[in-house]
Amino acid sequence: MTTLTAPLSIERIAKSRISEVDFQHLEFGKFIADHMAIASYANDRWGEPKIVPYGDLQMSPAMLALHYGQAIFEGMKAFKMNDGSINIFRPHKHYERLRKSLDRMCMPDIPEDMFIQSLHTLIHLDRAWVPDSEGSSLYIRPVVFASESRLGVKVSDQYLFIIMNTPVGAYLNKPYRLKVEDIYVRTAEGGTGFAKCAGNYGGAFYPTQLAKQQGYDQVLWTDHKDHQYIDEVGMMNVMLMIEGKLVTPKLNSAILDGVTRDSILILAKEMGIETVERRISVDELADGLKSGKITEMFGAGTAAVVAPIALINIHGKDIQIPVAGAQSFQQKVKQKLLGIRMGVLPDVHGWNYIIK
Ligand code: COI
């Protein structure tokens, strides 16, 4: 691990744009906070990261990321704690995943201290952008992409690393309506599904648009071979309560290793609930919902947090999911997560990265 020699240089914005934001009605990604962290990679090394006003970049139309898709990102959140401190949730865990994504896409590793110091300096500077109403947060978006200008099909020699932030409210209040996908695939085992690379999302838009035209919010992706086993929702992992046990698809190279998924599995065990990571077939899902063995189904993701699922379409048939009341596991674990993030419950796992 390298150590940055000096604090990051900061170029401040002339006039903050924060007064343009309606913090009561936050829309995901609509407003980007005043500053961004930026570092460039060339000649086999990262330059010193710096903080600059958020703004447009100059780029070449031949920039490699545009043509061959070397682009990855992360999604984290910072919360305003009850004592006014700012808490970035599990940044080291997100960093580990960022490294895996970089590696899969043949992109250069980012030193941990460069990542953490850029993040810390940026969030401290833009701390006024962290909203404080319940369920709201500052969504942090690190992105790395190939910036070399060259049309040849090759691994880029130049990259940009940027962190930008957007204040967000509760991601979606309405429970999701999902459609089990049995034609298209998001990825395949051995592909890039476990990495947070831009192409995973771009390729998912078309089937998702089709599902939206049919009245659903998202698709539930299934295995690429015979669409028999469920993977994830693309924007979030999926979890089920089956006969009192928390069951979720076992990670493989087609499924993103969600930080919220991981946190919920840990909290469930502490709550005395058995957790099972295994393959879950579409048939088991349909039968379990019909028989009542499955009592809850919800999504887990950084943006979505814990997202109730109201309905699932399986092979053309809509099946209702039981409504999650205040005593449901998903509501209880959501409150627990919130309590830890806000500093109301003890942070026994050291998940909170607190900026005073
Ligand atoms: C996240 O939950 O952080 C995601 O990346 C999902 C989506 C907003 C792209």
What atom in ligand 1 is closest to the CA of residue 28?
8
The secondary structure of 45-108 as a DSSP string is: EEPPPEEEE-------TTBHHHHH--EEE--EEEEE-TTS-EEEE-HHHHHHHHHHHHHHTT--
CB count in 10 Å sphere of residue 31: 19
- Ligand 1 within 6 A of 303 CB? yes
At 132, is the secondary structure helix, strand, or coil?
coil
The protein residue whose alpha carbon is closest to atom 5 in ligand 1 is 75
CA–CA separation, 303 vs 89, rounded Å?
12
pLDDT of the residue at 174:
85
- Ligand 1 within 6 A of 301 CB? yes
**Residue 140 dihedral angles phi and psi, to the nearest 5°:** -105, 125
Residue 4 has pLDDT above 80, yes or no: no
Please write down the long-range contacts of 15-24, taking CB distance under 8 Å and 24 or more positions apart.
16/128, 18/128, 18/129, 21/129, 21/167, 23/131, 23/133, 23/136, 23/167, 24/133
- Ligand 1 within 6 A of 234 CB? no
Which H or E element spans position 37? strand 35-42
Residue 2 has pLDDT above 70, yes or no: no
Residue 3 has pLDDT above 80, yes or no: no
CA–CA separation, 194 vs 253, rounded Å?
5
Residue 172 has pLDDT above 60, yes or no: no
- Ligand 1 within 6 A of 165 CB? no
pLDDT of the residue at 115:
98
137: which strand partners? 168
- Ligand 1 within 6 A of 98 CB? no
- Ligand 1 within 6 A of 237 CB? no
Instruction: Please report how many Cα atoms fall inside a 13 Å half-sphere around the Cα of residue 72, on the Cβ side.
Output: 25
What atom in ligand 1 is closest to the CA of residue 139?
3
Could you tell me the domains of the chain? 9-170 (3.30.470.10), 176-324 (3.20.10.10)
- Segment 31-60 shows an average pLDDT of 98
**pLDDT of 259-290, one tens digit each?**
999 999 999 999 999 999 999 999 999 999 99
- Segment 282-300 shows an average pLDDT of 98
- Ligand 1 within 6 A of 256 CB? no
The protein residue whose alpha carbon is closest to atom 3 in ligand 1 is 75
